[in-house]
């Protein structure tokens, strides 16, 4: 009696499960490709994650804090005084920093003994009298004055005594700005929308 060869015929090839596996991997590949098509443009043009490193923005942002950065808002409007921004470090564009904007384009920023004064392009001068987001001001006997170009911003860390910022390496060009913190996701105690919002309180210098 000849052996039953039904399962070896071309119409019923062995390893039927192999076809199912191939289909499974094809579906996985399609899903991964679709996810990349959707996620990558969002990551590049709209939002991306950022992890704070260091203590320069204490107490507003702590080291290890996980943020989602809004990259689209500044395409429709310019950064404002008091905004916290993420940008490429001017001296090494592979690094990313987080600081707060104090001086705007075309302004003159003057610092002396921890006091900040701002002179706008029309010559009006004002003193920064209060910054609710910092715990203490740095103070020293030296004085520095920076005249900003029409595409430059003067940035400082909220932790003035521990921050490397525009006092040491100069202004940030607008082309280096990536975006602003939109959501804080971690740690749980720091979960918030638009974290770090705060605007310096300023008064006309001749009224003080």
56 is a catalytic site residue: yes
73 is a catalytic site residue: no
Give me the torsion for CA of 82, 85, 91, 94, rounded to 10°. 170
SS3 99: strand
The catalytically annotated residue of 21, 26, 53, 56 is: 56
Buried b (16+ CB within 10 A) or exposed e, 1-29: eeeeeeeeeeeeeeeeeeeeeeeeeeeee
Alpha carbon distances (Å) from 54 to 32, 155, 158, 169, 193: 35, 16, 12, 17, 21
The catalytically annotated residue of 99, 163, 166, 184 is: 99
Which residues are identified as catalytic?
A: 56, 99
């Amino acid at each position: 009696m000849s052996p039953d060869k039904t399962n070896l015929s071309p119409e019923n090839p062995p390893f039927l499960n192999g076809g199912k596996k191939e289909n499974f991997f094809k579906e996985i590949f399609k899903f991964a490709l679709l996810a990349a098509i959707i996620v990558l443009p969002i990551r590049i043009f709209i939002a991306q994650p950022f992890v704070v490193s260091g203590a320069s923005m204490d107490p507003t942002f702590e080291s290890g804090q996980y943020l989602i950065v809004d990259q689209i808002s500044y395409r429709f409007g310019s950064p404002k005084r008091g905004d916290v921004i993420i940008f490429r470090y001017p001296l090494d564009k592979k690094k990313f920093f987080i600081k707060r904007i104090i001086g705007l384009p075309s302004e003159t920023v003057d610092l002396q003994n921890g006091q900040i004064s701002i002179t706008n392009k029309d010559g009006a001068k004002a003193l920064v009298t209060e910054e609710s987001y910092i715990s203490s001001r740095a103070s020293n006997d030296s004085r520095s004055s920076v005249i900003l170009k029409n595409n430059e911003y003067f940035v400082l860390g909220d932790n003035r005594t521990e921050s490397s910022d525009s006092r040491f390496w100069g202004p940030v060009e607008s082309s280096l700005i990536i975006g602003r913190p939109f959501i804080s996701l971690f740690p749980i105690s720091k979960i918030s929308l638009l974290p770090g919002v705060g605007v310096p309180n300023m008064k006309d210098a001749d009224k003080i």
